[in-house]
Amino acid sequence: MKKSKGIMTLILTLIVTVALGFVAICGIGTEKAGAASEIKLGLDLAGGVSITYQVVGDEEPSAEDMSDTVYKLQQRVGVYSTEAIAYQEGTDRINIEIPGVSDANAILQDLGRPGALYFIAQTDASGNLNYTYTGVGEDGRAIYELTKSIDELKADGSIVLEGTDVEAAQGGSAQDTMGNSQFVVSLSFTEAGTEKFAKATEKAYYAGESIGIYYDGAFISVPQVNSVITAGQAQITGMESYEEAEQLASQIRIGGLKLELEELRSNVVGAQLGSAAIETSLLAGAIGLVIVMLFMIFAYRIPGLASAIALIIYTILTVLCLNMFELTLTLPGIAGIILSIGMAVDANVIIFARIKEEIATGKTVRSSIDIGFKKALSAIVDGNVTTLIAALVLGVKGTGTVRGFAQTLALGIILSMFTALVITKLLLRALYAIGFKDIKYYGMTLEKKPLNFLGNKKWFFSASIAVILLGFVFMGVNKASTGSALNYSLDFVGGTATSVTFNEDMTLEEIDEKVTPEFEKITNDANVQVQKVADSTQVIFKTRSLEVEERQALADVLVEKFAVDESSITAETISATVSGEMRNDAILAVLIAAVCMLIYIWFRFKDIRFATASVVPLIHDVLVVLTFYAVARVSVGGTFIACMLTIVGYSINATIVVFDRVRENMAEMRKKDTLEDIVNRSIGQTLTRSIFTSLTTFIMVAALFVLGVSSVREFALPLMVGIVCGAYSSVCIAGALWYVLKTKIASKGE
């Protein structure tokens, strides 16, 4: 009976896997719903729409106003994609780039004109109407039209507020006075706006009038004033859906920019990395996955086979969920998936190690499987939840690529836990039921004399401190010699965008082969970003900031070697795509995530010293990788933040596994055991897990490094260093640090 159930489970698993695999590869229906080819890709992998806005007016805007406008516009375009970016071009232009879309006109129509929002009183001081009701539109909404021009309204004081007086606008739901739920837009005003709005609502309320909200040439809302509003907070009611409320809020936010902008040009641009980057990344992922699966089967036999099948299911589910939740996949997102694959393997390694330990104590294979899963549960849950906390905080507080990374990481964590704790367990029981019951199919772990890790803690601490100090020394030397502590790319410091119109159409691969090397040679910049404008021969090259002589040298080469008309070559200074505000948001998000993880570990382990000893190695790993960036002069670009976040997630997970075993061994502590024995034994018991998990994750990233294009390799190399460092810190630093804190700092009740 059990054998037949096992066979049915395996057959059903095979059928479901094949069916899901078919959907992931081919999709469903004419629209290929669910297919990997339909996953939304970022600007770096698939291209999108590029729109350039110019500031309206003759006066040159201040740097502060431009920076504020870029940041707020970045938040607005984030509605379309977490990977959308906004950056300054020249002194009075702003570029936005939105991946995964190909209709610039639709974006322009939806986005509207930034900085053109007015709150208009229904009547002027003489009682004349400023706008009138003209009927109902096709969408069922009331239509109002101005009776005067904007300039006339400004002159007679009928414009009671402008967009800059609005501090925030948020769509949502609230309860009315009868307790019924309704969709609203909540507004808050600046100090000056609060005073203006109080006077305007007082006049409108006692006159029974409305205040029209006029944006980009049309009224978007004409709410009736029901009370005098003096507290600087207001609500617009009457929306039929959350989407309608959020759309209105979004229009108010973008209309509230300090500067008024008008469209200068719009283009559909190709991928920054090209099809070769996608193909090589996919190939590297496939090769890495196969190697990991073979390694698991070789190392763990039947359990390894179960984990290999579960890993295939995990990969398929990831593809389907990326489609289902419409997540945008970029190079940093791929890193999040790779990390979660490592965590999926990690959960299996923890379980299988426990099973082998139970078999070694004389228990039956079936009993060992059940006990192994049970004992591994706390380490898996705690390790994944701490990383998930980080992902959630980064998703809420982060912007741009940080948010995209967090989304793919969170998805991967949830799926990896499901496949490890449910699918692997189901498959392992089925394989046992059909006849794989002999111990030789599972192996056993004989307890060995633990290595004296704590005996070398001074050497470990000294080596880590020395490496971190070396990093600061190199950053100081770099700062003195080059003016920059790290090798920042244009993503962080801005640069020059050179637009070139060629006489013939070239693919991105041909451009990378023939033209890009010329740019790299003259600019001495190995991180040239290339974008091809769709349906044209125009190509945009983004490099570090170029001097006049370098710009002329490039023009000469383009004319001589590629017969380009020099008049078709233009160069503009562009700002960093990772703005100061975005960097601050990322740093704040990481700090909040670290505090949240510390609190969770403190709660779970009932000891602040465990929490402290978990977070410090995490900081250690980040600083060591930073040292690598400084010493090797690896380019610090848009993927730098994602790389650091990957290491944070990886490091904390590895440390939790060690501490979970310390906690368990302390509960079973014998009289002859010392605290040092407990820590050494715990590290030794998890050593195989630390090595195997690091090895499998390293294999995935190494495949990307070997097969990837140059930009992919620059991302993979520091990640490989971080993986090795994460394994080192969890084995050599975390346990030793906890031991020092435990013996030097007493806790209540000790």
The residue count for the chain: 750
Q: What would the mean pLDDT of 336-353 be, rounded to a whole number?
A: 77
Task: Tell me which fold the domain 2-25+273-441 belongs to.
Answer: Multidrug efflux transporter AcrB transmembrane fold (1.20.1640)
Of 671 and 207, the one with more pLDDT: 207
Closest CA to 639 of 536, 565, 718: 718
Q: Is residue 289 a contact partner of residue 315, using CB atoms and an 8 Å limit?
A: yes
Q: pLDDT grade, residue 159 (50/70/90)?
A: very high
Q: Angle CA(205)–CA(211)–CA(216) in degrees, nearest 5? A: 170
**Model-level pTM greater than 0.75?**
no
Q: Is 443 left (phi over 0), alpha (psi -120 to 50) or beta?
A: left
Distance CA 480, CA 114 (A): 42
Question: What is d(CA 101, CA 428) in angstroms, rounded to the nearest whole number?
Answer: 44
- Candidate CATH numbers 3.20.20.150, 3.30.1360.200, 3.40.50.300, 3.40.718.10; the one for domain 117-256: 3.30.1360.200
pLDDT in tens, 241-299: 887 887 778 777 777 777 778 877 777 766 666 556 667 777 877 888 888 899 999 98
Domain ranges within the chain, ordered by starting residue:
2-25+273-441, 43-113, 117-256, 455-472+582-744, 495-574
Pairing outcome for strands 85-89 and 93-99: antiparallel
Instruction: Return the percentage of the chain with pLDDT > 70, whole number.
Output: 91
CATH match of 495-574 with 3.30.70.120: yes
Backbone angles phi, psi at 53, to 5 degrees: -105, 150
- Is the model's pLDDT at 619 over the cut of 80? yes
Residue 190 has pLDDT above 80, yes or no: yes
475 or 446, which is more confident?
475
- Percentage of the chain lying above the pLDDT 90 cut: 18
- Tens digit of each residue's pLDDT (9 = 90 or more) over 197-254: 999 999 999 999 999 989 878 888 898 888 888 888 888 887 778 878 877 787 777 7
Going by the DSSP 8-state scheme, the letter that residue 718 receives in this structure is H
Task: Tell me the pLDDT band of 627, cut-offs 50, 70 and 90.
Answer: very high
Condensed to tens digits (0 to 9), the pLDDT of residues 630-651 reads 998 888 876 677 777 777 777 7
Closest CA relative to residue 273, chosen from 542, 38, 572: 542
Q: How many CB atoms lie within 10 A of CB 176?
A: 11
pLDDT for the residue 710: 67
**The pLDDT of residue 579:** 63
Report whether 82 contacts 400 (CB < 8 A): yes
Closest listed residue to residue 652, CA positions, set 719, 583, 724, 601: 601
Cα-based torsion angle of the residue sequence 416, 418, 424, 426 in order, rounded to the nearest 10 degrees? -170
Three-state DSSP at 256 gives coil
Q: In terms of C-beta density within 10 A (0-12 exposed, 13-18 middle, 19 or more buried), how is residue 478 classed?
A: middle
pLDDT digits (tens, 9 = 90+) for 567-612: 888 888 887 766 666 677 777 777 888 888 888 888 888 888 998 9
Burial of 597 (0-12, 13-18, 19+ CB in 10 A): buried
Average pLDDT over residues 303-324: 89
Shared fold status for 43-113 and 495-574: yes
pLDDT digits (tens, 9 = 90+) for 112-157: 667 678 999 999 988 899 999 988 877 778 889 999 988 899 899 8
Q: Where residue 711 falls among pLDDT bands split at 50, 70, 90?
A: low
- pLDDT greater at residue 721 or residue 653: 721
Strands 93-99 and 570-574, sheet pairing: unpaired
- Amino acid in the structure at residue 524: N
Q: How confident is the model at residue 36 (pLDDT cuts 50, 70, 90)?
A: confident
455-472+582-744 fold: Multidrug efflux transporter AcrB transmembrane fold (1.20.1640)
DSSP state, residue 423: I
Q: At what angle do helices 302-324 and 424-433 cross, to 10 degrees?
A: 140
User: What topology is assigned to 43-113 in CATH?
Assistant: Alpha-Beta Plaits (3.30.70)
- Cα separations in angstroms, 553 against 343, 490, 545, 546: 49, 20, 14, 10
